[in-house]
């Protein structure tokens, strides 16, 4: 056999050997893959019950968390004098603004965005009230205050304040007040017999300082706080009801014993003047009217409101203009009525009650103010000496890191606060230690 033939045979043998090795290798890989697949299936089958159990646990946990979220959340409020208040967060709202209690324990809550809620005796949401005034919320304006008529039990009458745009120029606006009949049925609640009884005059540009808080006096008159709309001078202009406290009869007519009665349809509404942005009014047990208002740059005030008195803004203030321009203090021009209490730095007061309940006897006669920038519930004490001079002091400040928009008291003496902004919670004060 020659050398070429020998080389050819060897080459064929090597090729056959390589092919055989490749076949063996592929078969080995196939058998390994089959074994691994079987092992994987065995593991998956063994762990399947465990995975099902895990999924079931997660579902149960999520459901439990959801159910728990519907239960009251405890809120701890730290007082500046060492007191700790405990509260219970009941429900939440979209930019809540005001609250009022009905005689049967139900309540109403307004949202600046335009909704009014009926709450049940446990202060849980029961239904949205139908036929509420439509609003276009801008800046500080939208749906505002709500109060009930002193004879609500017999007449079902409530009062609602809100911001109205000018029909001819949308840039102009002003606060208005309607009275209406509230009807509650098993299916919900609605307003009827709506009647507009008061307007800020004139409408002006801008979307701030509407104020539009309301309170009934013990003798049945309707008092309204009307802000100066960030225009300064209207507070001293007697032809405008901006920057004033207004006094009306329950039907919106003007009482003949108002101090400026007979001097024009707007002027005769005025009870006091020289106010900036009064966002809280209430009567004490002796029938005195108190109102707090936001100062310009600091200088927030708490005033006892007296017939025909001028409280000085913008001529005097305990604060200064945001531009840095100084404003004389009340003491510099004593013809103007000075506040009984002023805050520097500001607390940005909103919402206000003077406590008249029996549940917290050591707080009887104290005022409670919602603090926006101060993020606190501010308690003030009132004392009057034998000569009639008032001494009003901040007694304690309770903080939990939230802006407080509204403070209200129910018929049995419970105190409630509404937090500001979207998601603002309704909190019932429960105990203190």
Host H or E run for residue 24: helix 3-69
Please, are residues 332 and 315 in contact by the beta-carbon 8 Å criterion?
Answer: no
- Spatial contact of 397 and 378, defined as CB atoms under 8 Å apart: yes
| CB neighbour list of residue 22: distance below 8 Å, 6 or more residues apart | none
Task: Answer positive or negative: Cα dihedral of 37, 42, 46, 48.
Answer: positive
Q: What is the pLDDT of residues 72-84, one digit of tens each?
A: 799 999 999 999 9
Segment 140-154 mean pLDDT: 98
- Is the confidence at residue 34, as pLDDT, over 60? no
CATH class name, domain 80-432: mainly beta
pLDDT confidence of residue 57: 38
Band (247; pLDDT cuts 50, 70, 90): very high
Q: Is 20 helix (H, G, I), strand (E, B) or coil?
A: helix
Nearest to 86 by CA among 433, 431, 370: 431
pLDDT-derived band at 13, boundaries 50, 70, 90: very low
Predicted confidence at residue 374, as pLDDT, reads 98
Interval 272-292 mean pLDDT: 98
Rounded to 5 degrees, φ, ψ at 402 are -130, 145
> Could you list the active site residues?
209
pLDDT for res 42: 40
The confidence score (pLDDT) of residue 198 equals 98
Structure tokens at 315: 């001529």
The DSSP element (H or E) to which 146 belongs, if any, is strand 143-148
H/E run at residue 354: strand 349-354
CA distance 243 to 339: 16
Q: What element of type H or E holds 359?
A: none
What's the predicted TM-score (pTM) here? 0.84
Does residue 146 register a pLDDT over 80?
yes
**pLDDT of 7 strictly over 50:** no
Inform me whether the pLDDT recorded for 17 exceeds 50.
no
The pLDDT assigned to 54 comes to 38
For 219-239, the pLDDT digits (tens) are 999 999 999 999 999 999 999
Would you list the domain boundaries of the chain? Answer: 80-432
């Amino acid at each position: 056999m020659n050398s070429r033939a020998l080389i050819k045979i060897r080459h064929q043998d090597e090729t056959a050997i390589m092919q055989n090795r490749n076949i063996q290798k592929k078969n080995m890989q196939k058998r390994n893959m089959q074994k691994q697949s079987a092992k994987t299936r065995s593991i998956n089958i063994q762990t399947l019950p465990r995975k099902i159990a895990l999924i079931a646990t997660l579902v149960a946990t999520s459901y439990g968390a959801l159910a728990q979220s519907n239960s009251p959340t405890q809120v701890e409020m730290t007082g500046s004098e060492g007191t700790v208040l405990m509260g219970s967060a009941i429900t939440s709202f979209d930019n809540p603004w005001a609250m009022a209690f009905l005689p049967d324990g139900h309540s109403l809550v307004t949202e600046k965005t335009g909704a009014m809620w009926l709450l049940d005796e446990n202060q849980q949401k029961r239904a949205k009230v139908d036929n509420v005034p439509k609003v276009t919320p801008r800046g500080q304006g939208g749906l505002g205050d709500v109060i009930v008529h002193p004879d609500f039990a017999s007449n079902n009458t409530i009062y609602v304040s809100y911001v109205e745009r000018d029909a001819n120029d949308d840039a102009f606006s002003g606060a208005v007040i309607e009275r209406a009949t509230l009807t509650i049925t098993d299916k919900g609640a609605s307003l009827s017999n709506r009647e507009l009884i008061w307007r800020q005059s004139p409408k002006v540009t801008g979307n701030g300082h509407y104020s539009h808080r309301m309170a009934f006096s013990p003798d049945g008159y309707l008092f309204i706080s009307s802000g100066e709309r960030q225009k300064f001078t209207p507070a001293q202009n007697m032809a405008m009801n901006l920057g004033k406290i207004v006094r009306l009869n329950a039907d919106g007519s003007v009482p003949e014993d108002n101090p400026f009665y007979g001097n024009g349809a707007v002027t005769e509404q005025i009870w006091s003047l020289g106010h900036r942005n009064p966002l809280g009014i209430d009567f004490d047990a002796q029938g005195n009217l108190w109102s707090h208002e936001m100062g310009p740059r600091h200088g927030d005030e708490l005033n006892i409101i007296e017939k025909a008195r001028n409280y000085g803004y913008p001529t005097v203030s305990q604060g200064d203009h945001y531009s840095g321009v100084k404003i004389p203090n009340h003491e510099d021009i004593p013809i103007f009525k000075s506040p009984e209490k002023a805050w520097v730095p500001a607390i940005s007061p909103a919402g206000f009650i003077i406590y008249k309940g029996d549940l917290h006897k050591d707080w009887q006669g104290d005022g409670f103010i919602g603090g926006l920038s101060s993020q606190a519930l501010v308690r003030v004490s009132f004392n009057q000496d034998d000569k009639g001079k008032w001494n009003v002091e901040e007694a304690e400040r309770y903080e939990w890191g939230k802006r407080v928009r509204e403070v209200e008291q129910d018929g049995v003496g419970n105190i409630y606060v509404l937090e500001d902004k979207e998601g603002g919670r309704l909190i019932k004060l429960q105990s203190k230690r």
